[in-house]
Amino acid sequence: MPAFRAYTARNLHEIPQLAGRSADDLLQLRAVAAVLPFRTNRHITDELIDWDDVEHDPIYRLIFPAPEMLDPADLATMTKLLRDDAPAERVAAEARDIRRRLNPHPGGQLSLNVPDDGDRPLDGLQHKYAETVLFFPGPGQMCHAFCTYCFRWAQFVGDPDLRMAGNDPEVLCGYLRRHPEVTDVLITGGDPMVMRTEVLARYLEPLLAAGLETVRTIRIGTKAVSHWPYRFVTDPDADELCRLFERVVASGRQLAVMAHYSHPRELAPAVAGEAVRRIRATGASVYAQAPLIRGVNDDPETWRRLWRTGLDLGVVPYYMFVERDTGPRNYFEVPLARGWQIFREAWSQMSGLGRTAKGPVMSATPGKVLVDGVTEAAGRRLFALRYVQARDPALVGRPFFADYDPEATWFDQLTPAFGEHREFFRPA
């Protein structure tokens, strides 16, 4: 039962498996880590990464910076600053400039989704789809390890203008009382499971109070199930956490742990299976979702095994996301057409109980767009698309079409195939 200890840009030279790296290699790692947040821990370095084939290792790519993640000119500038031992403020200023060019808040998250209910925006809330409110508790804006492709990376770079967070659970509860149409609350981050149980309880328990019976499902978005499964098993307050989950379930609500699993290997250590078993024993459900990432999980067999291994543990396959248009997207993106092939090949090998998976799905500004497939009609190649969520509920569930483009990687690169489908492409 190891105690948690993080490796970051500051102490990455202490990672034993990096001992053989050249000074130049380490300098490049540090240069990328100065811009894109880097953090890992011993469960990942010792249990998940295969260091014998680290060049191609999916978990290594998921966690460790690579020089290709930055534009070559930015990488050169950053490397030079570090090599010259430039003052910390100079390095930080350069990092800020580079970040602002990396589209830190895709989909208009800061401007379009934060509700105001009167005169000022409500900190830490996002309300994009009628039924579901997202809450970002201040102390949960951290993770046990960072994924290099994270679409919420701006939460971790210490720049308050780029960050969403709320410290007052009463702001959330007040909003929910005024909005009885909201049935689902998603506690997210960051990762709420970095909070000690006692702190998490401060955000969860007010939701169980009289007057909030309209909230039927509480979801917790987390990668701790794979990056630090001990959180649910042997951490000092792991048992207390299970009791907290039981109280949520006993209130008559559904508790859903939205588990971010990128690769079946994350479920291989015994402690990862035990984490799922303990969560489910509280009456909570576990759903698996992740983005499709080049070099990490961009093949059908990986998804088939991920869903199959999950199902054996009672984990329900949920979204396969398309990597968002932020951060080092060029390094990670997979064309939509390829994404659909991967999804289809994996999905078609599941029994119906595994076909709960939906994907590939783009979380775009107007809503979540599902790529239903590539098809031919009227002598043309088309993408068949469908909103599975939309800011404008009138768009949900209706098929529409875009011109086929084998290279397209995001919704804004698609054009309506038919004039009458233009309404689906307008930002809401």
Ligand X SMILES: *Cc1c(COP(=O)(O)O)cnc(C)c1O
Burial of 89 (0-12, 13-18, 19+ CB in 10 A): exposed
Among 309, 298, 335, 380, CA closest to 62: 298
Residue 326 engages ligand X in binding (rule: CB under 6 A): no
Rounded CA separation 3/227 (Å): 13
Helix (H, G, I), strand (E, B) or coil at 110: helix
By CB under 6 A, which span of 78-86, 126-134, 240-248, 370-378 interacts with ligand X? 126-134
Beta bridge partner(s), residue 243: none
Among 105, 128, 152, 263, binds ligand X (CB under 6 A): 128
Q: Is 260 exposed, middle or buried (0-12, 13-18, 19+ CB in 10 A)?
A: buried
Is the CB of 95 or the CB of 172 nearer to ligand X? 172
Report the length, in residues, of the chain.
Answer: 428
- Closest-by-Cβ residue to ligand X is 128
Do 352 and 317 meet the contact criterion of CB atoms below 8 Å apart?
A: no
Residue from 77, 103, 132, 356 that binds ligand X (CB under 6 A)? 132
Task: Note whether 365 binds ligand X by CB under 6 A.
Answer: no
> Of the candidates 129, 261, 331, 387, which one interacts with ligand X according to CB under 6 A?
129
Q: Does the footprint of ligand X cover residue 126 (CB under 6 A)?
A: yes
Size, binding site for ligand X by CB under 6 A = 10
Query: Among residue numbers 83 through 122, which ones bind ligand X (CB under 6 A)?
Result: 113
Rounded to whole angstroms, what are the CA distances from 79 to 38, 67, 328? 16, 10, 17
Region near ligand X per CB under 6 A, out of 125-133, 300-308, 408-416, 419-427: 125-133
Is the torsion defined by CA of 117, 104, 107, 300 positive or negative? negative
Nearer to ligand X, 13 or 179 (CB): 179
User: According to the binding rule CB under 6 A, does residue 389 interact with ligand X?
Assistant: yes
Closer residue to ligand X (CB): 64 or 153: 153
Burial label for 426, CB within 10 Å (0-12, 13-18, 19+), is exposed
Nearer to ligand X, 124 or 229 (CB): 124
Binding mask 181-220 for ligand X (x = CB under 6 A): -----x----------------------------------
Q: Is residue 363 a contact residue for ligand X (CB under 6 A)? A: yes
Binding site for ligand X (CB under 6 A): 113, 126, 128-129, 132, 134, 186, 363, 368, 389
